[in-house]
Structure 1
Amino acid sequence: MKNGIKVFLCLLLAFTLFPFNSLEANAQGNDVSVKLRNYLGNKKTVGVDVVGEYLVEGQNDLTLVSSKDYSVKLENGELVLYTGNSRIKEFSGSFTVIPKSYGASNYISINGRDYLGEIEFTIEESYIRPINTLPLEDYLKGVVPYEMPATWHKEALKAQAVAARTYAMNYVGSVIDDTIRYQVYGGYIWDSSSYDTSTAAVNETVGDVLKYNGNLISAVYSSSNGGHTESAANYWGNSHPYLVGKPDPFDPQRPWSLTIDKQQIDTSGLDLKNPSEWWNSVSEKNSDLAELNNIKAYINKDFYPNTEIKIVGVPKLTISGKNSSGKSTNGSLTVDFFVKNADGSYRMEDTSELPDDYSNELAGEDRYGTSVEVAEYGWAAGADSVVLGRGDITLDALTGTVLAKKYNSPLLLTRSDRIPPEVLTEIKKINPTSKRVFLLGGEQAISESVENSIRNSGYTPVRIMGETRYHTAVKVAEQIQNSSEVIITSGNENSPDALSIASYAAKNQIPILLTRSDRVPAVVSNYLKKHNISKVHIIGGTVAVSKAVEDHVRGLGISNINRVQGEDRFATSVAIAKEFKYDMSNVIFASGYLFVDALPGAALAAKLNAPVILTRQDRFPNVVRGWLDGLSNQPFIHYLGGPVAISENTRDEIKQTLTASINLYTLTKEDVGIGTLRNILGGTLFKSYHITNVANSESRVTISGLGYGHGVGMSQYGAYERAEAGHSYKQILSFYYEGTTLQ
């Protein structure tokens, strides 16, 4: 090839066209219909401009003119034509615009690219898909310079024009598209002098097609055959006598190579149990990203859609076999990889066994029995006092966890009208040294009957109460001395946020105050002012505790406000565990919806300095899974409540999270057709089957080859060299399509 020829790779690589049944047709007088996909992409709005005039088919009063800007939008399943911001017309299905007269005086622009002829606007898979219909010869003027550089020798371009025309004739009467799947079509670009040679090549061969035994041939071509054409029989298994394998001395045998390191990620220093710690900071070799991205695309498409892939290594890449054309036929590939799901979780596998006693369940026959089980577990050695809360409304009892911690007391639950026998028995068993039993709430919460049962058992009931839950929380807070900070959370009894923060508040003796969502109760506001509070932790998002509440607190002169929140109750419990200091040797799991079971567990959590983490009953939330997976230690697990609160399936997921490591998957392709390897690695990198060398070292593999594309039919670079050597386009076509006739 002479100096100055530029490699026109992007559009010449790997143009694979498949044989089709022959169709007898005359090239002249035929229209071609082309879906505009390659340059337009998938759009729900396209800009439309016209030069001259375009008529809307079936709309006698609607004409598009060059003085206006138009657009077509897909709205509610209909195509809508606009001029500027004004709707002109809605169309169900499709509509077609036709030039007032065909030719260069009337053409249309779609998103800035010009087209001759008519345009039908259709809907395809929820996107606008224009279809351009125009005469075959003008279509070819937009194809030839996109398949072969427009400045190349005219004889080469004429050979390209005949091959492209012959190929297109097989599709007359059907709809093709403008991509490499058929032929790349650039629209009406040939009005520029830059395309004079390619346009002349089409005009000077007008109507010429190639036939074999009177039938149109499959006029396939590729960029470069590597010095030897490939036969159709070898490549497709279809015997076409005019597509034979033979040496091509004029093909420049353009070289290429592909190199991949066998190890992409060194896993020896990674904590495979906690991939979240390193996933975003570990990556493959930058030098191999193009090849690896193609492999990832293949894995995503065929095996793990909508996931993120990290390739650990490519330990095997080999090429084997040769056919009669000297092209390689087979190969093997092994790829090791990790998978991260779209929801942020990782594909894990069990790699170790937990002991049977990795966890315990604190559960009774009902919530009252559960509170007894928790008390026996945490206060078997006795307690100073006992705190008694109402079992059917949670908030009074939750705010009392701070009081329970102050007096080293369990939190037991009672019915409003009577104390369950097992609870009274447990109080007697604990036999608090102070003889005090704190009752949280007024007589509507815990009746006089319960109080009398406590007194008659030899203990002193101490009632802490207020007019409302907000008042009661303040009364409990007043039992706590010398705290300059408070926790404010939702007073909504359906909110579990107070449960998640209760253990930290209790351990650190920080009062828990309740608020309405939209405003701070006066009793709470007065407490903040009276006790010179300097720091406030707000638990929950602005739906639970509004910005108005935060602004009110700030208006009291408290500038140190810390809001802790998550997207939901589960994420909020994780956010609390991350925000505040806990001893992670214990983790307490509670139901995010049946959290009344977990009420007594908040006092136990305070005793253990452990976080209370919420989970769904029937499945383990991903946000919690990620947090547990990221812990540096393996905690002891406490389940508050039985399977009705936390199912066995959820417990299995928690156990798996504690034991699993990220799964190393392997893609294996052993002795497969070389086309499979080229598909996986990408045709723009693995450029042909004409492999000249495979250098396989301990650390990397390099594949070297010649040519670009399948090598069947005409070599475009070979055609250029032949034209430069003085061959006519007829001689070029005669060599590459042996035994055919030009008609």
Structure 2
Amino acid sequence: MKHRKLISLAIVPILVATFIATTATLSLAGSSINPRLYGSDRYETSTAIANQFSNQTVSNVVLASGNDFPDALSASVLAHELSAPILLVDRNTQTSKAALDYIQAHLRPQGTVYITGGTSVIGSNFESLLSNQGHQIKRLGGSDLYDTNELIVNELNSTSDTVYIASGQNFPDALAISSFASQTNSPILLTQTNGLPKGAQEYLTNNEPKNIYIAGGTAVVSGSVENEIKSISPNSKITRFAGQTRFDTASLAYSQLAANPKTIYIASGLNYPDALSGTILAALNGDPILLIDPSTPLVPDSIAMYLAQLYKNGATPNVTALGGSVVVPDEVINNVVNLLNGQSQSPLFNITTVDSRLNFGGLPVNLLPNKTIGSTLTLTNTTIPIAVFIRR
């Protein structure tokens, strides 16, 4: 009979015998699990998501920077309106092969490439290359991120009576609401912390939306900005999603805007690329992009409460991760499924995940079979909150 024993890595020396890399079976009643869409980097992940969105001919594609989030944040609503995938690119064509290969394979002749951002973030050589291939090019790039946001919003043919306001100085809050805004073709207006940009002021003045959602607390969108919005559009109903952390803010948006999702998309809340690329999929049904912390197997508490409520409500969403196991660990997927099944979370990383994250004194340690770790290493007043299973 095989036995498993839980040991702590807080004692050295440690002799590691043969490790088991456990893999939980994902099962969710009434749902299917498509564990992840990913590539070797953010650009290949973006292309994998684009292929999931459409592996047939498309009429439009939207290019967004894989390096600078502000211009990219505005791209999601436009992409949904155009039924276009969002392709992340580097600053030049030479290092953007994945996106260019997708365009060559799927964009119809005379199709349109929308470039979001100026030439400092997406170089002019994209225009030369793609126009030479017969495609139409439309660059939406202003003097700064707020000008770019204004150009993208003005490109929309939106009749929505709803507007979303989010910080242009950080990405999590905008990502948390991006799929909901996109699904209803509602503009996302980016703002400074203490002042509403001119383009956003003009949009609110000209359109007087019925509903305005502010994503983030007063540390990112100040009370003075909210007061400014009220004075410009006094008849609008203003709702603010504001939590102590980015995950708390996101969970408030999920609870109000995604009470019965068809699919839950999981992405890192510590970086923007995979979540941004996945917006085009989530927007199809107004599904949430669940932001998580990849440094822990545990789903953040507030988001865990949202998932537990879905279980109580009888929701049976599909589950898909955006990005590889470094940005969305398998254990996080397992815990999402556990919560959707009414079960508790497991606090343990399996050994393959521990192997990629463990270090002593800032030096990485690879856990290999039959390897002694730290036989001459002394740890003083050190806590290592990691546990692993071994088989013997």
TM category, shorter = 0.7 to 0.9
User: Structure 1 CA distance, aligned partners of 2:291 and 2:105?
Assistant: 31
Higher relative helix content? 2
Q: Deviations over 1:268-309 (max 9, x none)?
A: xxxxxxxxxxxxxxxxxxxxxxxxxxxxxxxxxxxxxxxxxx
- Are 1:633 and 2:315 an aligned pair? yes
Question: Residue 604 of structure 1: CA displacement?
Answer: 1.4
Deviations 1:428-467 (CA, angstroms, capped at 9, x unpaired): 2222476001000111121111221221222111111221
Aligned residues: CA RMSD: 2.3
Partner of 1:602: 279
Per-residue CA shift, 1:499-518, capped at 9, x if unaligned? 11111111101111100111
| Structure-1 separation of matches of 2:287 and 2:195 | 31
- Larger mean CA deviation between 546-555 and 453-462 belongs to 453-462
Residue 531 of structure 1: how far off its partner (Å): 3.2
Alignment of 1:298-697 (within 5 A): 353-354=27-28, 358-418=33-93, 420-432=96-108, 435-481=111-157, 482-492=159-169, 494-560=170-236, 561-581=238-258, 584-617=261-294, 618=296, 619-631=298-310, 632-661=314-343
Deviation at 1:575, TM superposition (A): 1.1
What is the total number of aligned residue pairs between the two structures? 313
Contact 2:204 2:233 (C-alpha < 8 Å) held by counterparts: no
Q: Give the fraction of aligned pairs with identical amino acids, expressed as a percent.
A: 29
Alpha carbons 2:265, 2:319 under 8 Å: kept: yes
Distance 2:80 2:27 in 1: 35
Instruction: Give runs of aligned pairs for residues 192-231 of structure 1, distance below 5 A.
Output: none
Alpha-carbon distance, 1:661 to partner? 4.2
Q: Is the 8 A contact 1:387 1:409 kept in 2?
A: yes
Structure 1 residues 449 and 353: CA distance shift in structure 2, 3 A:
closer
Matches within 5 A, 1:18-37: none
Classify the secondary structure of the residue corresponding to 1:478: helix
Higher Rg of the two aligned structures: 1
Larger fraction in strand: 1
Q: 1:471 to 1:525 in 2, by over 3 A?
A: same
> In structure 2, the residue corresponding to 1:364 is in which secondary structure?
coil
Contact 2:191 2:221 in 1 (8 A): yes
Contact 1:582–1:609 (8 Å) recurs in 2:
no
CA deviation map 1:474-504 (0-9, x unaligned): 1111122333432110011x33111111111
Given the superposition, is the C-alpha separation of residues 433 and 580 from structure 1 closer, same or farther in structure 2, using an over 3 Å criterion? farther
Cα distance in 1 between the residues matched to 2:155 and 2:134: 24
SS at match of 1:607: coil
What code does the residue aligned with 1:414 have?
A: V
Deviation (angstroms), 1:354:
4.3
CA contact (8 A) 1:394 1:599 kept: no
TM-score, with length taken from structure 1: 0.40
Q: CA deviation at 1:647?
A: 1.6
Output the CA distance in 1 between the equivalents of 2:278 and 2:288.
10
CA contact (8 A) 2:90 2:122 kept: yes
What is the SS of the residue equivalent to 2:219?
coil
2:275 partner SS: helix
CA contact (8 A) 1:351 1:659 kept: no
Using the alignment, how far apart are the partners of 1:488 and 1:642 within structure 2? 30
Greater relative contact order: 1 or 2 (C-alpha under 8 angstroms, separation 6 or more)? 2
CA distance in 2, matches of 1:662, 1:593: 24
Structure-2 change in CA distance of 1:655 and 1:352 (3 Å): closer
Find the aligned partners of 2:187 and 2:56 in 1 and give their Cα distance: 27
C-alpha distance in structure 1 between counterparts of 2:161 and 2:315, whole Å: 33
Alignment of 1:108-257 (within 5 A): none
**Secondary structure of the structure 2 residue equivalent to 1:545:** coil
Q: Report matched runs for 1:60-75 at 5 Å.
A: none
Secondary structure in structure 2 of the residue aligned to 1:463: strand
